[in-house]
């Protein structure tokens, strides 16, 4: 297994719309294993393939306390969104050390393939529901900061670019 490099906002590649997975090949299986390892290593609760510069519709999530139950969603589709929405602080591995409020449906039902190619339905609530919506946004080329006001977004963009300049020194 290997750790993958996570793209940092405002990298334009984060704005790529991912393509559906046609077949679960050996390289997809390896990618998924590496995504799970990278998510755990970075203390994240979710990671979309977009964030590691692979533009295919794959996400990995683990909101468990033990961090031992990764869930793989391939070609996820939203079947139903709860009409009630709640605003909560979100963060993202592509926007380090930044948290801000985003409104999300409190429950969501999705259909997706797992890593073995089996399609199943999931009913997500609370943090899991937020995470599913956040990660599915990545596949559409959307980052959570895109929901914030232009003023806040610009502030975050400036902060991230400064951080990246410092790291590249």
Binding site for Ni ion (CB under 5 A): 92
**Which conformational region is residue 97 in: left (phi greater than 0), alpha (psi within -120 to 50 degrees), or beta?**
left
Q: Which residues contact residue 6 at a Cβ distance below 8 angstroms, ignoring those fewer than 6 apart? A: 38, 42, 47, 51, 52, 93, 94
In the complex, the smallest distance separating the C-beta of residue 8 from Ni ion, rounded to whole angstroms, is 11
Distance of alpha carbon 30 from alpha carbon 69, whole angstroms: 18
Q: For Ni ion, give the closer residue by CB, 92 or 160.
A: 92
To Ni ion, the closest distance from the beta carbon of 87 in angstroms equals: 17
Smallest distance, Å, CB 119 to Ni ion?
24
Residue nearest to Ni ion (CB): 92
Of 37, 135, 140, 166, catalytic: 135
Per the annotation, the verdict on 135 as an active-site residue is yes
124 three-class SS: strand
Distances (CA, A) of 36 to 12, 62, 102, 156: 23, 9, 25, 27
Nearer to Ni ion among residue 95 and residue 113 (C-beta): 95
We find the least distance from the C-beta atom of residue 25 to Ni ion, in angstroms, to be 25
Can you read off the two tokens belonging to residue 157?
């963009």
Please, which residue, 31 or 130, has the CB nearer to Ni ion? 130
When the beta carbons of 5 and 83 are compared against Ni ion, the nearer one is 5
Q: Which tokens hold the place of 130? A: 């937020």
**Catalytic residue IDs:** 135
């Amino acid at each position: 297994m290997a750790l993958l490099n996570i793209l940092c906002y405002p990298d334009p590649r984060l704005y790529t719309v991912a393509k559906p997975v046609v077949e679960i090949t050996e390289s997809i299986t390896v990618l998924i294993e590496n995504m799970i390892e990278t998510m755990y290593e970075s203390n994240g609760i979710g990671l979309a393939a977009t964030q590691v510069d692979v533009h295919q519709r794959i996400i990995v999530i683990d909101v468990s306390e033990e961090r031992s139950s990764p869930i793989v969603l391939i070609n996820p589709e939203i079947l139903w969104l709860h009409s009630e929405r709640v605003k909560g602080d979100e963060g993202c591995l592509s926007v380090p050390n930044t948290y801000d409020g985003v409104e999300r449906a409190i429950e969501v039902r999705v259909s997706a393939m797992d890593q073995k190619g089996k399609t199943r339905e999931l009913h997500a609530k609370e943090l899991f529901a937020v995470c599913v919506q956040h990660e599915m946004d990545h596949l559409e080329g959307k980052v959570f900061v895109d929901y914030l006001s232009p003023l806040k977004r610009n502030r975050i963009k400036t902060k991230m670019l400064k951080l990246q300049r410092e790291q590249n020194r």
